[in-house]
Amino acid sequence: MQTIKPETKSHGCLRMMIGGALSAALVSFVLIASAAAADVVTLRVGDQKGGNRSLLEIAGLANDLPYKIEWSEFPAAAPILEALNAGALDVGYTGDLAFLTVYAAGAPIKAIGGTRSDARTQAILVRKDSPIKSIADLKGKRLAGTRGGWGQFLIDATLEKAGDRIDDATFAPLGPVDAKIALLAGSIDGWAIWEPYVSYATLKDNARIVADGEGLTPTITFFVASDQAIATKRAAVQDLVRRLNKARLWSLDHLGEYAKATAALTQLPEDVLLSAYTAQRTSPIVIDTNLVTEIQQASDRATRYGILPTTLDVETAVDRRFTAASAGSN
């Protein structure tokens, strides 16, 4: 039997003590790290293909986030708004009137920022061989667009501009994919739509523009957040708005690079995207008194058209603090 010397025994006990201390420290570190990870805010963000996620990545602003983002991709803005209303998302983005339509129905959401595009990039398209040559020819025709959003509004505003009543044409509530198919098939006479669909239809399908939104629509796309996210994740939401604004400003100086990178991500033609981005010149907005007044006028007009069910106070639908803070930090 081997005799254990006192000093060897002592060293063994010391190693055991050190090992036990290290194990305890490791366990403590893991618990602290786990607790810290549990404290990291996660933003659930709704996106559309080639939208804000790709823009942040292309502009180099998706790195070193002090929070996590769970991206969910949607085919259009309507399901993003539905998910925000249901509490399944924290942040999304959508056209101004589509947002107001859902807000009017009682959704617990607010517009917290956004962008403006050239109003001419909203347009009513017809086939190349269509007998429709001007807005005067739209009377009595079957015109498709999104219900409760830019499409329906542009159709009604264009008819009114021509001196017609909004029921002098038949409105076909169709999403972009179905409306494009219907236009090419000849089952509708015109299609009210926005970019990049306008550029795709004119460049690839030989469609013609017979009317646009200049002087008729604000052409604002809002970043929208749930009231819950505003209350509990304010710092993360603020940082996301700031990054999106910086990315948008970057894109204005890098349209070709932006189009090329987005084309690779979305499989959309690069020439279509470059045409769309060049026409839109999409820029960040600040939600201030002038913007609220502009959206209020569009909202009142949408109520008169029957698109919105009731008159809204737009001031209650926005939170000015996010873009005001972002404007000061850029």
Angle between helices 234-252 and 321-329 (to 10 degrees): 50
122 CB-near residues (< 8 Å, 6+ apart): 150, 154, 192, 193, 194, 198, 212, 213, 217, 219
| Gap between the Cα atoms of 320 and 181, Å rounded | 40
Fold for the domain defined by 42-117+225-254+286-293+307-329: D-Maltodextrin-Binding Protein; domain 2 (3.40.190)
Q: Where are the alpha helices (DSSP H) in the chain?
A: 6-39, 52-58, 77-86, 96-104, 150-161, 176-185, 197-204, 227-232, 234-252, 255-266, 270-280, 289-305, 321-329
Any idea which of 13-17, 264-268, 299-303 has the lowest mean pLDDT?
A: 13-17
Name the fold adopted by 120-212.
Answer: D-Maltodextrin-Binding Protein; domain 2 (3.40.190)
CA distance from start to end of the chain: 77
pLDDT tens by residue, 203-247: 999 999 999 999 999 999 999 999 999 999 999 999 999 999 999
- How large is the average pLDDT for residues 114-124? 96
User: Distance between CA atoms of 207 and 77, rounded to whole angstroms?
Assistant: 24
Let me know if the fold of 42-117+225-254+286-293+307-329 is the same as that of 120-212: yes
- Between 108 and 149, the more confident residue is 108
Q: What pLDDT score was predicted for residue 54? A: 87
- Give CA–CA dist 146/301, Å, rounded: 17
Q: Is the pLDDT of residue 14 over 50?
A: no
pLDDT tens readout for residues 159-168: 999 999 999 9
**Rounded-to-integer distance, Cα 92 and Cα 52, Å:** 9
pTM: 0.82
pLDDT at position 38 is 52
* pLDDT tens-digit map of 159-197: 999 999 999 999 999 989 999 999 999 999 999 999 999
b/e per residue 73-104 (b: at least 16 CB within 10 A): ebeebbbbbbbbbeeebbbbbbbbbbbbbbbb
Average pLDDT over residues 297-319: 96
Residue-wise pLDDT tens digits, 45-104:
999 877 899 899 999 999 999 999 999 988 778 899 999 999 999 999 999 999 999 999
Q: What percent of the chain has pLDDT over 90?
A: 78
* For the chain, domain boundaries: 1-39, 42-117+225-254+286-293+307-329, 120-212
Does position 8 have pLDDT exceeding 70, yes or no? Answer: no
